[in-house]
């Protein structure tokens, strides 16, 4: 992956912070020399990741860890519970999974309950 830089952003699990995370992710993707289309994909992926993670957050905050290399961005979001506490979020979570799997090169849940994280990889096209 070459030289990697790391940025960690921790925000409250409140909808009004989704924009902060989205703007930060777009700037990071631009600094990773990604195309405009890829930057837009990253913005959408991070917003969907925020929605997904918000329903599974272990505590009152979420950490977004960005590992940045030229032409590549790896994002981990957590800590997360293994399952959403509310069954009503099932449809929203399926939609989020569909979006993330469509626009990212990799998407998975890693780790154990309580230390579980959402991992997304986006490479420049």
Tell me: the pLDDT tens digits for 7-36? 999 999 999 999 999 999 999 999 888 999
pTM over 0.75: yes
How far apart are the C-alpha atoms of 58 and 116, rounded to whole Å? 9
- Phi and psi dihedrals of 94, rounded to 5? -65, -40
40-57 mean pLDDT: 93
Residue 125 has pLDDT above 90, yes or no: no
Residue 109 has pLDDT above 90, yes or no: no
* 54 token code pair: 């918000």
**Which of the residue ranges 10-19, 58-67, 101-110 would you say has the lowest mean pLDDT?**
101-110
Q: What does CATH list as the number for 5-123?
A: 3.30.565.10
Measured CA distances, 80 to 38, 54, 107, 117 (Å): 26, 9, 15, 6
* 40 token code pair: 């837009």
Residue 70 has pLDDT above 90, yes or no: no
Nearest to 63 by CA among 120, 5, 10, 119: 10
What mean pLDDT is reported for the chain?
89
């Amino acid at each position: 992956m070459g030289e990697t830089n790391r940025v960690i952003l921790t925000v409250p699990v409140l909808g009004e912070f989704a924009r902060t995370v989205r703007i930060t992710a777009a700037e990071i993707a631009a600094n990773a020399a990604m195309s405009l289309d890829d930057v837009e994909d990253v913005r959408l992926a991070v917003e969907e990741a925020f929605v997904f993670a918000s329903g599974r957050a272990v505590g009152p905050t979420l950490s977004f860890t960005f590992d940045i290399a030229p032409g590549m961005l790896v994002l981990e979001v957590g800590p997360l519970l293994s399952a959403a506490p509310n069954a009503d979020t099932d449809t929203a979570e399926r939609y989020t999974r569909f979006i993330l799997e469509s626009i990212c090169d990799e998407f998975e849940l890693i780790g154990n309950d309580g230390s579980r994280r959402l991992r997304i990889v986006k490479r420049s096209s």
